[in-house]
Amino acid sequence: MRRKLEKYEIEEEIGHGGMATVYRAHDTVLDRPVALKVMHPHLQSAEEARQRFQREARSVARLRHPRVLEIYDFSGEGSDESYIAMEMLTGPTLKRWREQQESVPAEIAACMTIEIARALEAAHAASIVHRDVKPENVLLHEARTLKLTDFGIADMMDTHSMTATGQILGSPGHMAPEQIEGKDTDQRTDLFSLGTVLYYLATGRLPFTGRNPHQILKRIVDGEYADPLRVAPAIGGELRDIIAKTLERDPADRFQSAAELRETLEAFVAKIGIDDPAATLAAYLQDPRTVGDDLTRRAVDALIDEGSRASDAGDVPTALDRYNRVLALDEGNTRVLKLIERVGMDRRRRMIAMAGLGLCAVGLATGGLAWAFWPGEPAADPRALAATDGGVAAATVAEGEDAGASVAEGDAGASADSEAPADVGAPADAGAPAADAGSARVAVVRPPLARTREILIIPSIANVTINVDGAPIAGRTAQVMAGRPHTVTLIPGARVQDSYRSTNETRSVPPGDGAYEWPVAVELQDAPLYVDTGGVAGTVTVEGGRGSGRTNSILYVRLRRELESPQIRVRAPGYVDFTDRVDLRAGGETVRVVAQMQRSGVAEAP
């Protein structure tokens, strides 16, 4: 027989959190399905928890917005159990949906964020700060739209923070620095959290990660996260800058309102002809492949046009950023490769002209020293040009070479791994023959070329993207300067990113012949564990020193393999130790263990 809670007939559990369990239920009076959120039994007697639960119901019930989960009903003051009856949504959480996608177009990530921003606009207009914006609290509905849910720790803008001494309310990985530091929160706090959601949607990984919550929170406070453009080059510099602004440590440096962020993202997607983000999102959710391919084609065309305009205006950084994104979306695009080459040649001509003016001034000052300049050879690969600051290679003249003579092959530009060339007009090296006044020769000392060496990266798992010194590489090898420290970053692919975390390793590459082998072990994600003792305060330890913590809170367990079944031990004063083996998955959903604590009959020591 199904359990009944007042007028609601409970059918099955569909969700579980730290404060409540959500059930699929049926309203027997109005004859409709509902999602019934019921507070955990051990929290029913906690007055602060009940007040927070009631406040969620009342605050969200005031919001009437298509992007906010609708509240139908909630328990009264005299109810034996605290519950909230909500509309039943059909789809998965945004987190679960993103986990199933190999990649998401940048414009779709922006459209999704726009819809969440609309929900926050409504909440902020009602003086409500959500304070727990994360992918798990956004649900898809009818495969066409998004809805913001779970205002369980929402705070009124005109009241003090509910953060108690020694307690932080929120989700590690999505909390703003001011939440962590116990400072006042406002609507900009939600915008920081929304920035982490946008980062996650655009790149497939969270900006702030770590071995445990403490490490994650420290990285948030320090503003330490991987550049999203390095993680996912296809998002482009423009969206990267928007994400960076949402994740500013100081609230004054962020977007100041959800409307401002929404309008900025709307301007971003409008560049490829998206004037109705909600309609575009609905179409994409119905047919991701077709709509995604169409968006990519439109983005490529728009980026090339914008890059060309920037190039014509002399704005080389913007032009190269747009062209780089084209190559990330459509590798080998011949049209943009030619445009990149043109940008580099135009830039070289401008720099040569400036250098020529400088040499002319030197010549006049020395009584007519002759000077000459020439264009360097074009870059061998325009894609390499796009990865540099303007793609300009400095030309050097071999000592004693006739001024005005063509540059010998191989001397047109300094090696990418060489030392910077001497400044134009700098004195010649003491060991070089001086130029006679009136001579038609210019003595320029070419700096020695630094020795490079190939490195071979050997990751512990196959499905990874490899960055060397912050730049992605193709395959497993790269050329680096020997005798200097370099950093290798391994970013798990979509199929394994739930179980593994990005891993950085820095070491100095020694000089030598042949490839230098560099094995890198990709670190496993921790496994979250929640031990429920029904309110009994105790401690949890995991065998092998893999983790320890308090009961009735999330503990992060270090694993040696993706799947493990370590033994846990629960201890509490006055109770018999509880032991059990728990099946844990690296980076998996939180595993909840109910520990039935039995009194020992031994008096607690004073």
- Give pLDDT tens digits for 221-258: 988 888 898 888 899 999 999 999 999 999 999 999 99
- Indicate if 467 and 553 belong to the same structural domain: no
CB 470, CB 443: distance < 8 Å: no
Does 575 map to a domain?
A: yes
- Indicate if 249 and 130 belong to the same structural domain: yes
Does 367 map to a domain?
A: no
What is the pLDDT confidence band of residue 351, given thresholds at 50, 70 and 90? low
Choose the most confident range, by mean pLDDT, from 108-117, 383-392, 477-486, 499-508: 108-117
Helix (H, G, I), strand (E, B) or coil at 305: helix
Q: Which domain holds residue 203?
A: 92-160+169-286
Is residue 162 over pLDDT 70?
no
pLDDT value for 152 = 57
CB 485, CB 469: distance < 8 Å: no
* Average pLDDT value for the chain: 78
- Indicate if 244 and 116 belong to the same structural domain: yes
CB 166, CB 177: distance < 8 Å: no
- Indicate if 514 and 543 belong to the same structural domain: no
pLDDT value for 346 = 59
- Indicate if 323 and 302 belong to the same structural domain: yes
520 residue type, one letter: V
DSSP string, 337-386: HHHHHHHHHHHHHHHHHHHHHHHHHHHHHTTS------PPPPPS-HHHHH
- Give pLDDT tens digits for 545-576: 788 888 888 888 988 888 888 999 999 999 99
Query: How far apart (Å, rounded) are the C-alpha atoms in residues 15 and 44?
Result: 18
Is residue 156 over pLDDT 70?
no
Is residue 447 over pLDDT 70?
no
pLDDT value for 347 = 55
Query: What CATH number corresponds to the domain at position 461?
Result: 2.60.40.2070
Does 223 map to a domain?
A: yes
Which pair of tokens denotes residue 186?
Answer: 């406002």
Query: How far apart (Å, rounded) are the C-alpha atoms in residues 435 and 499?
Result: 65
Q: What is the average per-residue pLDDT within 208-219?
A: 86
pLDDT value for 4 = 85
Query: How far apart (Å, rounded) are the C-alpha atoms in residues 298 and 293?
Result: 9
Does 316 map to a domain?
A: yes
Residue where the block lists tokens 């590489």: 473
Question: Which candidate, 173, 49, 183, 76, places its Cα nearest to that of 129?
Answer: 183
Residues whose CB falls within 8 Å of the CB of residue 319, separated by 6 or more in sequence, listed in order: 307, 308, 310, 311, 339, 343
Does 395 map to a domain?
A: no
On the CB side of 486, CA atoms within 13 Å amount to 24
- Indicate if 257 and 176 belong to the same structural domain: yes
Number of domains, the chain: 5
Task: Compute the Cα dihedral for 140, 142, 145, 147 and give only its sign.
Answer: negative
Q: Which of 269, 286, 303 is the last residue of a domain?
A: 286
Does 410 map to a domain?
A: no
- Give pLDDT tens digits for 167-200: 445 578 898 998 888 888 889 999 999 999 999 9
- Indicate if 18 and 128 belong to the same structural domain: no
- Indicate if 18 and 120 belong to the same structural domain: no
Residue where the block lists tokens 């844990």: 584
Question: Which candidate, 528, 524, 533, 590, places its Cα nearest to that of 562?
Answer: 524
pLDDT value for 177 = 92
Q: Which of 55, 88, 121 is the last residue of a domain?
A: 88
pLDDT value for 571 = 93
pLDDT value for 430 = 40
Lowest-confidence region among 172-176, 272-276, 445-449, 478-482:
445-449
Is residue 60 over pLDDT 90?
no
pLDDT value for 541 = 93
Query: How far apart (Å, rounded) are the C-alpha atoms in residues 130 and 152?
Result: 8
Does 111 map to a domain?
A: yes
Q: What is the average per-residue pLDDT within 590-604?
A: 78
Q: Examine the residue annotation and report whether 132 is marked as an active-site residue of this protein.
A: yes
Cβ-defined contacts of 465-471 (< 8 Å, 24+)? 465/490, 465/491, 465/493, 466/490, 466/491, 467/230, 467/491, 470/227, 470/230, 471/230, 471/387
- Indicate if 20 and 74 belong to the same structural domain: yes
What is the reported pTM?
0.59
- Indicate if 191 and 276 belong to the same structural domain: yes
Q: Which of 61, 88, 115 is the last residue of a domain?
A: 88
Choose the most confident range, by mean pLDDT, from 362-366, 437-441, 490-494: 490-494
Is residue 155 over pLDDT 90?
no
CB 191, CB 246: distance < 8 Å: yes
Is residue 471 over pLDDT 50?
yes
The DSSP element (H or E) to which 12 belongs, if any, is strand 8-16
Q: What percent of the chain has pLDDT over 70?
A: 78
pLDDT value for 291 = 94
Q: Which of 132, 155, 190, 526 is catalytic?
A: 132
- Indicate if 246 and 223 belong to the same structural domain: yes
Q: What is the average per-residue pLDDT within 199-220?
A: 89
pLDDT value for 350 = 55
The DSSP secondary-structure symbol of 550 reads: E
Does 375 map to a domain?
A: no
pLDDT value for 154 = 53
User: In this structure, what are the phi and psi dihedrals at residue 395, rounded to the nearest 5 degrees?
Assistant: -95, 140
pLDDT, greater one: 15 or 384:
15
